[in-house]
């Protein structure tokens, strides 16, 4: 019922606008078409100036209102460069926006139709065409080259001392794998994927897989480079690291990489933001299905000592997958031996 009423209201509004326009036509015929057009131009010219002033005030007001609600400063070294690139782009495009919009609305007011004024017409001007072609081309070239420089930085080979974390997207969660003590990932095969005990398809015949472990959250060491090896099990996902100003597609069958250096621990960010519940997050920045909104994982940035303590408490995925094959605990054997000894003791 509410939908029908909304459609009815829209139709009535169009009918009213149509009737007003027809009435205006009749009035213009009575007054004289030329006089009516000149009066309309004067009103439109004045409204152009009003709209320009109110529009610029609105732009400033929105910026002043929302600037403190933006993300805090970049939490990675590479993110600082991304922020700098965005600021450069905003300054350049913002300057062009102000100049062109002010001229657009001012010209509409200043050069409105008036008696005795005739508009100049020229079909071609080489100098103007060179200016409006060359100047934007130079500006865009600067912006593109700046973007390529930062892109090449985050996708280049990570430092030799960088830790490595594998992130695999799956509808609708992230699978996090660490290489264990040897620092190397074991071989994978998609045919071996098993959601119960082998979610990324590790090949257990590869000895490098024996100490690889998985986690539901990412743990990183502050001020230490980390290389992300990114992939997907099904559709295209996107690893979004908003606080680090990074994102990278997770593509099935095509591993992608990027590396960053975290600047602040999670504890430090809680103090900086004044939010005791602050957490770094991985979000999926690519629409990937009905559960896209829930595809998140937490990131913990901590000291080296805290990270070492956390890794020491992790169990390898191999041991979890082969838990049934683990031999009986020594304590159980000791209990059996004690029982046999007790049974063999003569009664006095």
Please provide the DSSP assignment of 262-293 as one string. Answer: B-S-HHHHHHHHT-TT--EEEEE-S--STTGG
Q: Are strands 163-170 and 213-215 parallel, antiparallel or unpaired?
A: unpaired
Mean pLDDT within 3-14: 79
What is the token pair recorded at 277? 């519940």
Q: Is the pLDDT of residue 262 over 70?
A: yes
Residues 245 and 76 sit within 8 Å (Cβ to Cβ) = yes
Taking alpha carbons only, the member of 181, 183, 216 closest to residue 312 is 181
Rounded to 5°, the CA angle 83-87-89 comes to 115
Which of 19-33, 127-141, 245-259, 277-291 is predicted least confidently? Answer: 19-33
The correct answer on CATH 3.30.360.10 for the domain covering 163-321 is no
Using the structure block, give the residue that is written with the tokens 């109110």.
Answer: 54
Helices (H) and strands (E) in the chain, counts: 8, 10
Q: Is the pLDDT of residue 27 over 70?
A: no
Q: Is the pLDDT of residue 287 over 90?
A: yes
What confidence tier does 126 reach under pLDDT thresholds 50, 70, 90? confident
Q: Taken in order 301, 303, 306, 307, is the CA torsion positive or negative?
A: positive
Which of 64-68, 100-104, 326-330 is predicted least confidently? Answer: 326-330
Express each pLDDT in 311-332 by its tens digit.
Answer: 999 999 999 888 877 555 555 4
Pick the more confident residue, 221 or 43: 221
- 24: helix, strand or coil: helix
CA dist 235 and 291 (Å) reads 13
* E strand segments, the chain: 163-170, 173-178, 213-215, 218-221, 226-232, 237-241, 246-250, 256-260, 280-284, 296-302
**What are the residues facing 220 on neighbouring strands?**
301
298: Cβ contacts below 8 Å, ≥ 6 apart: 217, 218, 279, 280, 281, 282
- Domain boundaries of the chain, sorted by first residue: 17-70, 71-112+127-156, 163-321
Produce one character per residue of 113-122: b if its CB has 16 or more CB atoms within 10 Å, e if not.
Answer: eeeeeeeeee
DSSP codes joined into one string, 96-110: HHHHHHHHHHHHHHH
DSSP codes joined into one string, 235-256: S-EEEEEGGGTEEEEEBBTB-E
At 144 the pLDDT is: 92
Pick the more confident residue, 330 or 196: 196
Residues 250 and 238 sit within 8 Å (Cβ to Cβ) = yes
Taking alpha carbons only, the member of 6, 146, 34, 155 closest to residue 85 is 146
Radius of gyration from C-alpha coordinates of the chain: 33
Q: Is the pLDDT of residue 333 over 60?
A: no
Beta carbons within 10 angstroms of residue 146's beta carbon = 15
CA dist 40 and 52 (Å) reads 18
């Amino acid at each position: 019922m509410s939908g029908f009423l909304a459609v009815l209201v829209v139709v009535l509004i169009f009918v009213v606008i149509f009737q007003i326009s027809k009435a205006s036509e009749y009035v213009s015929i009575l007054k004289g078409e030329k006089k009516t057009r000149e009066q309309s131009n004067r009103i439109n010219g004045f409204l152009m100036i009003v709209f320009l002033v109110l529009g610029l005030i609105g732009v400033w007001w929105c910026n002043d209102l929302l600037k403190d609600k933006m993300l805090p400063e970049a939490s990675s070294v590479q993110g600082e460069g991304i922020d700098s690139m965005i600021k450069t782009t905003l300054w350049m495009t913002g300057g062009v926006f102000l100049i062109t919009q002010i001229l657009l609305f001012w010209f509409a007011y200043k050069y409105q139709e008036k008696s005795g004024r005739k508009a100049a017409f020229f079909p071609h001007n080489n100098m103007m065409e060179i200016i409006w072609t060359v100047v934007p081309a130079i500006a865009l070239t600067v912006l593109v080259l700046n973007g390529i420089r930062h892109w090449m930085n985050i996708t280049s080979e990570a430092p030799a001392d960088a830790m490595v974390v594998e992130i695999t997207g799956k509808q609708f969660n992230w699978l996090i794998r660490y290489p264990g003590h040897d620092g190397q990932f074991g071989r994978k095969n998609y045919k071996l994927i098993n959601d119960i005990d082998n979610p990324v398809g590790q090949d257990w015949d590869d000895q490098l897989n024996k100490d690889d472990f998985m986690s539901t959250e990412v743990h990183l060491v502050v001020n230490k480079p980390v290389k992300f090896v990114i992939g997907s099990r099904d559709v295209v996902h996107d690893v979004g690291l908003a606080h680090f100003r990074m994102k990278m597609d997770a593509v099935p069958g095509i591993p992608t990489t990027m590396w960053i250096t975290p600047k602040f621990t999670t504890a430090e960010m809680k103090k900086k933001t004044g939010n005791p519940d602050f957490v770094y997050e991985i979000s999926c920045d690519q629409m990937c299905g009905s559960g896209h909104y829930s595809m998140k994982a937490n990131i913990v940035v901590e000291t080296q000592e805290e990270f070492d303590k956390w890794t020491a408490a992790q169990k390898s995925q191999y041991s979890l997958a082969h838990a049934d094959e683990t031999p009986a605990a020594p304590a159980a054997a000791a209990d059996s031996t004690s029982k046999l000894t007790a049974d063999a003791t003569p009664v006095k």
